[in-house]
Structure 1
Amino acid sequence: MAAPRWLTDDEQRAWRAYVESTKLVFDLIDRQLQRDADMPHAYWEILVRLSERPDRRLRMSELADVTRSSRSRLSHAVARLEERGWVEREDCETDRRGSFAVLTDAGHAALVAAAPGHVEQVREVLVDRLGPERLAELGRISTALLEGLAAEGHTPNGAA
């Protein structure tokens, strides 16, 4: 068995800065959404994904994939969104085991109401802080990571 390839000091600094900065950015985004819209970022992501569809609906399995969530975690979140009247589930007529999550008018209104504060927070903690050139660089780096991992067969829910 080969010896592990330990990170150099520079690699370790870059890795830790990446991990700490992404955790802090998502924590700040989540806190703003909780404070101003009474929803965690995970709920925001579900509402956004549904709103981007012309019919505001997605199969639950597809919604789990695009939100990078386990099926059980997504089901729990959708149940909470149903309690708020923001999402409804519909049975799939062609597959008895499948169902759809559908964004309601109330859910769309909640998303629209939360959007200005959310966008301002994203600008404050990321976009304006980096500026156009570094933001474009971050986009290229993130795309390279996503494409490389996808090419290796890594799926949204963590399986390879």
Structure 2
Amino acid sequence: MPQRVKNSSLTYSMEVKPIMTRKLRRRPNDPVPIPDKRRKPLNYLLTDDQILEDLRILNKQLKSPKRPVSPSSPDQMPTIPMEAPSQRYEARIEEGKLYYDKRWYHKSQAIHLESKENTKISCVISSVGTNEIWVRKTSDSTKMRIYLGQLQRGAFIIRRRSAA
């Protein structure tokens, strides 16, 4: 308990209080503060089962014996099975357009995107890359990336919709 000294009519406390200091400037040797970056959350569109299936396929490809291939003879190229058992839809990208299920799709085209969970989303194709397409949902204008492999496996199904 702090001691109290009585002097005339005032009571003084002998307690030592720390002096409050305010840091107005950063000192030269102090580290620079890192700004808090706010990033959009990533929406992963592949399930764990799909990731494991892709890893199994990659491991099979790596374990297969490799043959030397001369570039002058394309008939000696190693054959990779194009039709996997889970692959149901034909999908490819050529010259900035998507060929999917016997139809061509292009940038700014209105589509319906259906997923395995039976959700149907109205979208517009915002861009067509080399291995994926980006779609913008018309409901909230968020963008989604859909890989060609997901279309080929049937994880997503694209249907045309009228632009009106």
TM-score, length basis structure 2: 0.27
Report which structure shows greater RCO (CA 8 Å, sep ≥6): 1
Q: Would you tell me which structure has more helix in proportion to its own residues? A: 1
